[in-house]
Structure 1
């Protein structure tokens, strides 16, 4: 799940197609144990440039079935990496060399997760605000230009802009 080189591409409708393909696989495997599957991150915003890596949040009610969900995801080739320092936001990686699925990051979040709420808010805000969407694309592109091999610096570079948007929550 670690991005080694940052490349920003113009919006591509195939991102939604590939999200739906992955979502369908997850829905079949996790049926009855999840509330929803959300396409979040920049690839979920029509017209926004992005790293061509999907961000997917699997929404659960609470942790009562978390071990069962981890097991079902393991059967699909996912490994839980823990919360990576973000409460109520568990990251799952998979062996990209063995997967035929579009490159993606998968997270499991309870419905009360602040990280989930922020993901959905940012997606919806950027979808509804063209000026901010264009500005964010410029920031992302500049960040990738400045820090093409340093994901931490890239994220830090764009965090001020995102924090300003979160003030609208």
Structure 2
């Protein structure tokens, strides 16, 4: 059973993202339009599971499966859509995961959703702190129960997402 871990923000996460994004960009090449650091490790000061979430935006999602062997060669496990249509998902690190890669084709609404959530937390450190505090409390309560941990933060994450979308619409 994998232990759920939430740690305080690390300045190393940005460097880890940059290094890994370069590796992935070398493999996927011109198919990548942009690569974004998403998830809690992308928000300065936010406590997080120490797993770097990377979101490459690609030209054609159907072509990504042709890169599976190259991704395996740098330590990733291809998971296909992994429950989300039109996404390609990869994990690195086995039971001690270090990276998640979420690839979407340009125009997929999931791209905006991830970026708006991240940017909202970056601009609202008080909300990021509240989110981090909840995650720290949940990991203490459910150290070996990832489902309960995820379920416990779902309501607040949904509230933040709604607020973030309203905020984003207001800055257009």
Counterparts of 1:126-141 in structure 2 under 5 Å? 126-141=121-136
Deviates more, 1:118-127 or 1:83-92: 83-92
Larger proportion of helix: 2
Please give the TM-score of this superposition, normalised by the length of structure 1.
0.86
Mean Cα deviation higher: 130-139 or 113-122:
113-122
State which of 91, 98, 106 in structure 2 corresponds to 1:103: 98
1:3-27 Cα deviation digits (max 9, x unpaired): 9211211111001111111111112
The answer for unaligned runs of 5 or more in structure 1 is none
Distance in structure 2 (CA, Å) of the matches to 1:25 and 1:31 = 10
Selected match of 1:32 from 30, 33, 58 = 30
How many equivalent pairs are there? 163
Segments of 4+ moved more than 4 angstroms: none
- How high is the TM-score relative to the length of structure 2? 0.85
Deviation at 1:54, TM superposition (A): 0.7
* Aligned-residue offset at 1:95: 5.1
Aligned pairs for 1:8-19 within 5 A:
8-19=6-17
| Whole-Å separation in 2 of the counterparts to 1:147 and 1:58 | 31
Q: In 2 relative to 1, CA 29–141 (structure 1 residues): closer, same or farther, beyond 3 Å?
A: same
Q: What RMSD, in angstroms, separates the aligned Cα atoms of the two structures?
A: 2.0
Q: For structure 2, list consecutive stretches of 5 or more residues without a partner in the other structure.
A: 166-172
1:81 aligns to what?
A: 79
Structure 1 residues 55-85: Cα deviation after superposition (integer angstroms, max 9, x where no partner): 1112112335223333442443433212221
